[in-house]
């Protein structure tokens, strides 16, 4: 219990009769980097705002170090937030913005100045103290927002899509910087993003959400390699999601042929979703293959080629470093280890 | 050159209806009946009799402005916030009287406050002593606050609704309770609205003569009354013009002072 700094227990939230969150359970371990990942409107920001105290859950409890803090106002919580659009105070300069929390706590002047200077140095903004916040670039404002939150030495830092407004290159740099900061300071980060690549890069734990429900919780590797359902598989990276039937343990039938797999424990003839990553589909000679098709398009993507292969019933996305001519006939093969079987069969990909 | 052409009619309008009258006022203010240059009428205004009127005008205008601020700021906050559900009713109650003529509204107060008015009749009905409600400074201030309150509320309201909700949340997140959120974020960010509200209430308050005439009953003469008397009763246009110029200088000076504060605030950013 003690190593979970934040726990959401059966948390639900209604907005005007409709459920934005449905019985969410999240446990955040101390000093971990946890990411809430999902498409817009999935409830990830609502979840973050419930942890910060800006929203009260309709149902359920929020625990902080094992203590119930449901209903405790934000200013009494030992968490700080980095807002999506930074929310810097326009009437204060950089230094006054960063010092805001310390001044509220009535820390003496010298100590405040020292801490602010130290924080600004950490985010590479030394010498910016007197600058007007509106004169700063997006990246610089972002750093001020992070410094303003971290200077209060929160036990948990909440970040609401903090890199969303930055350009790609800056975003990559900030990802690494944020991760370094988190490890150096030993602070728990709860991070909200819709960018799956960002989530995979930075997180210790990812919570994938959709329509107010947690779809899967796990490590990045775990979530990428073992998506628990078709939604997760589709959202995290690209996937071929094929309807199939589980013939028996370790044997699944899809695309008109039986394939060996590593999954078991399904009912005989249970309809399932078969998820196969584009990079796991091998192109082989047409004659020896169980799946045959025609290459419809070839796109160069830098590291690999992306090919669309049409098999008559469906189109497959394939990533390969070797190029195959468009319109040529090919065979497709998948190794047992790369076939991921999911319950449901409701979705067709 | 071409782009200046559309402004031409306005320039003519302003010259004819603003600049020329102003110059006329200046001419009368600095001359006597024979048309020779003199500062006599400015000196006359500095006599104790008129200085007392001037001091009273400033005092009542300041009190009215302050009252408007004290009543108007919370009202603007209620109108800008989302906690009060019957907001629309409040807005309607607030705006409907503005559809009526200024004079009619002020006369309405007469019937309320009169010795045999509604309030005193009600007190009489309850066998309570009647109150001296009309024809004093209090009645004049009340009339000013009543008439000029919207000019305070509207600029503050329009500044408040523009404050980003996430700034309030950021302050709460950094440990500020509601009082500190107000004093450190909401209030400083609304200063421009407060300053324009103060200007817009103070100016009509210091120059009004209708309110003091009707509700003050001639007992509380204000500068506006003196100017009006000089022009329409005494026919001393020169003195009236001189007082007008003097008041103009006072208003310009106070506006300059206010904008100084405004800029000082921005300088802190």
Tens digit of each residue's pLDDT (9 = 90 or more) over A45-102: 999 999 999 999 999 999 999 999 999 999 999 999 999 889 999 999 999 999 999 9
B155: in domain:
yes
Which of A54, A75, A85 comes nearest B175 by C-beta? A75
Least confident of A112-121, B19-28, B208-217: B208-217
Quick check: B141 and B63 in contact, CB under 8 A?
yes
In a domain, B75, yes or no: yes
Other Cβ atoms within 10 Å of A105 Cβ, number: 11
In a domain, B239, yes or no: yes
pLDDT in tens, A281-337: 999 988 888 899 999 999 998 889 999 999 888 899 999 998 888 899 999 999 999
Give the pair of three-digit tokens for residue A262.
């590593």
- Residue B265: pLDDT band (50, 70, 90) is low
Residues A252-260: what's their mean pLDDT? 90
Fold entry, domain A4-230: Rossmann fold (3.40.50)
Calculate the alpha carbon distances from B179 to B153, B175, B185, B265 in Å. Answer: 21, 11, 10, 21
- To 5 degrees, how large is the angle CA A9–CA A11–CA A13? 175
Chain A: give the shortest CA distance to residue B187, in Å: 11
- Which residue has better confidence, B7 or A96? A96
Residue B239's domain is classified under what CATH number? 1.10.3720.10
Q: Do B177 and A73 touch (CB under 8 A)?
A: yes
Do A100 and B167 count as a contact with CB atoms less than 8 A apart? no
Residue B216 has a pLDDT of 85
Tens-digit pLDDT profile for residues B122-162: 888 888 888 888 888 889 999 999 999 999 999 999 999 99
pLDDT value of residue B84 = 65
- Whole-angstrom distance, CA of residue A298 vs CA of residue A283: 13
Burial of A312 (0-12, 13-18, 19+ CB in 10 A): exposed
Identify whether the C-beta of residue A201 lies closer than 8 Å to the C-beta of residue A175: yes
A89, B171: Cβ pair inside 8 Å?
yes
Instruction: Calculate helix-pair angle for B20-29, B237-267, nearest 10 degrees.
Output: 120
Give the alpha-carbon dihedral of A93, A94, A97, A102, to 10 degrees: -120
Rg from Cα positions in chain B: 23
Which residues partner with A271 through β-bridges?
A: A245
Residues whose CB falls within 8 Å of the CB of residue A67, separated by 6 or more in sequence, listed in order:
none
Answer whether residue B237 is part of any domain.
yes
User: A92, B176: Cβ pair inside 8 Å?
Assistant: no
Please give the sequence-ordered ranges of beta strands (E in DSSP) within chain A, or none if there are none.
Answer: 4-15, 18-29, 33-37, 59-64, 67-68, 79-82, 156-160, 188-193, 205-210, 213-218, 240-248, 251-254, 257-260, 270-276, 282-284, 291-300, 305-310, 315-320, 329-333, 340-342
Q: Do B269 and A132 make contact, defined as CB atoms within 8 angstroms?
A: yes
Enter the pTM of the model.
0.80
Give the whole-angstrom CA distance, residue B50 versus residue B227: 11
Q: Name the token pair of A49.
A: 């705002």
Tell the residue number behind the tokens 């209620």, with chain if given. B78
Residue B264 has pLDDT above 70, yes or no: no
Q: B127 in a domain, yes or no? A: yes
| Domain residue extents for chain A | 4-230, 240-342
Is residue A274 within 8 Å of residue A340, measured between CB atoms?
A: yes
Identify the top-confidence range among A170-174, A280-284, B64-68. B64-68
Residue B117's φ and ψ, nearest 5 degrees, are -80, -175
Distance (Å, whole) CA A128 – CA A144: 10
The set of residues, in sequence order, having a beta carbon less than 8 Å from that of A206 and lying 6+ positions away, is: A34, A35, A37, A199, A200, A216, A217, A218, A219, A220, A223
Q: Which fold has domain A240-342?
A: OB fold (Dihydrolipoamide Acetyltransferase, E2P) (2.40.50)
What would the two tokens of residue A147 be?
């410094």
**DSSP state at residue A278:** G
Domain residues for the domain of B65 are 55-267
Q: Three-state SS for A102?
A: helix
Q: Which secondary-structure segment (H or E) carries B150?
A: helix B137-160
Instruction: Read off the pLDDT band of A349 (50, 70, 90).
Output: very low
Q: Could you tell me if residue B31 is inside a domain?
A: no
3-state secondary structure of B131: coil
B132 or B205: which leads in pLDDT:
B205
**Interface contacts (A, B; CB < 8 Å):** 72
Q: Which residue of A has its CA nearest to B168?
A: A87
Phi, psi of B69 (to 5 degrees): -65, -45
| Domain A4-230 matches domain A240-342 at the CATH topology level | no
Number of domains in chain B: 1
Give the rounded percent of residues in chain A with a pLDDT score beyond 90. Answer: 69
Residue A113 touches chain B, beta carbons under 8 Å: no
Residue B45 located in a structural domain: no
A interface mutation test: which of B167, B168, B175, B266 has the most A CBs within 10 A? B175
Decide if B48 is inside a domain. no
> What pLDDT is recorded for position A116?
95
**In this complex, is the C-beta atom of A100 within 8 Å of any C-beta atom belonging to chain B?**
yes
């Amino acid at each position: 219990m003690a190593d979970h700094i934040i726990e959401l227990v059966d948390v639900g939230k209604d907005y005007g009769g409709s459920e934005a969150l449905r019985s969410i359970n999240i446990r955040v371990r101390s000093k971990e980097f946890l990411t809430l990942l999902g498409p817009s409107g999935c409830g990830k920001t609502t979840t973050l705002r419930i942890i910060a105290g800006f929203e009260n859950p309709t149902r359920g409890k929020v625990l902080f170090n094992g203590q119930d803090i449901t209903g405790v106002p934000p200013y009494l919580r030992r968490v700080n937030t980095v807002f999506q659009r930074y929310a810097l105070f326009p009437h204060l300069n950089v230094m006054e913005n960063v010092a805001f929390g310390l001044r509220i706590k009535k820390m003496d002047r010298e100590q405040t100045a020292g801490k602010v200077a130290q924080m600004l140095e950490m985010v590479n903004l030394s010498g910016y103290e007197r600058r007007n916040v509106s004169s700063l670039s997006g990246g610089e404002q972002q750093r001020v927002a992070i410094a303003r939150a971290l200077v209060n030495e929160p036990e948990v830092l909440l970040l609401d899509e903090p890199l969303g407004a930055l350009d790609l290159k800056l975003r990559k740099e900030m990802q690494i910087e944020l991760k370094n900061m988190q490890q150096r300071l030993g602070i728990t980060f709860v991070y909200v993003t819709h960018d799956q690549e960002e989530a995979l890069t930075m997180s210790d734990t990812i919570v994938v959400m959709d329509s107010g429900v947690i779809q899967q919780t796990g490590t990045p590797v775990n979530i990428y390699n073992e998506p628990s359902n078709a939604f997760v598989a589709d959202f995290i990276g690209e996937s071929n999601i094929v309807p199939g039937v589980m013939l028996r343990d370790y044997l699944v039938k899809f695309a008109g042929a039986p394939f060996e797999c590593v999954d078991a424990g399904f009912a005989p003839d249970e309809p399932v979703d078969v998820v196969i990553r584009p990079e796991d589909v091998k192109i082989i000679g047409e004659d020896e293959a169980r799946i045959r098709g025609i290459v419809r398009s070839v796109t160069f993507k830098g590291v690999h080629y992306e090919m669309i292969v049409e098999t008559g019933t469906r189109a497959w996305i394939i990533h390969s470093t070797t190029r195959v001519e468009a319109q040529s006939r090919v065979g497709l093969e998948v190794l047992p280890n790369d076939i991921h079987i999911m319950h449901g069969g409701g979705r067709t990909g | 050159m071409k782009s200046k052409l559309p402004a031409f009619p306005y320039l003519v309008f302003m010259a004819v209806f603003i600049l020329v009258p102003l110059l006329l006022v200046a001419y009368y203010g600095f001359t006597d009946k024979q048309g020779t240059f003199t500062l006599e009428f400015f000196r006359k205004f500095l006599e104790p009799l008129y200085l007392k009127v001037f001091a009273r005008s400033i005092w009542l205008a300041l009190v009215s402005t302050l009252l408007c601020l004290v009543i108007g700021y919370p009202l603007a906050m209620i109108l800008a916030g989302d906690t009060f559900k019957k907001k629309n009713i409040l807005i309607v109650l607030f705006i409907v009287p503005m559809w009526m003529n200024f004079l009619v509204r002020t006369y309405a107060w007469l019937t309320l406050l009169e010795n045999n008015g509604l309030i005193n009749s009600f007190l009489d009905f309850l066998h309570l002593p009647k109150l001296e409600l009309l024809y004093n400074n209090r009645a004049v201030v009340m009339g000013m606050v009543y008439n000029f309150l919207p000019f305070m509320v509207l600029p503050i309201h329009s500044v408040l609704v523009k404050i980003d909700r996430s700034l309030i949340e950021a302050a709460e997140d950094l440990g500020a309770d509601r009082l500190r959120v107000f004093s450190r974020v909401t209030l400083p960010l609304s200063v421009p609205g407060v300053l324009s509200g103060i200007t817009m209430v103070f100016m009509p308050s210091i120059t009004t003569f209708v309110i003091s005439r009707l509700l003050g009953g001639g007992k509380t003469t204000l500068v506006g009354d003196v100017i009006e008397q000089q022009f329409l009763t005494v026919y001393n246009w020169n003195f009236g013009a001189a007082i007008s110029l003097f008041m103009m200088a006072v208003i310009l000076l106070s506006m300059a002072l206010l904008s100084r504060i405004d800029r000082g605030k921005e300088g802190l950013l």
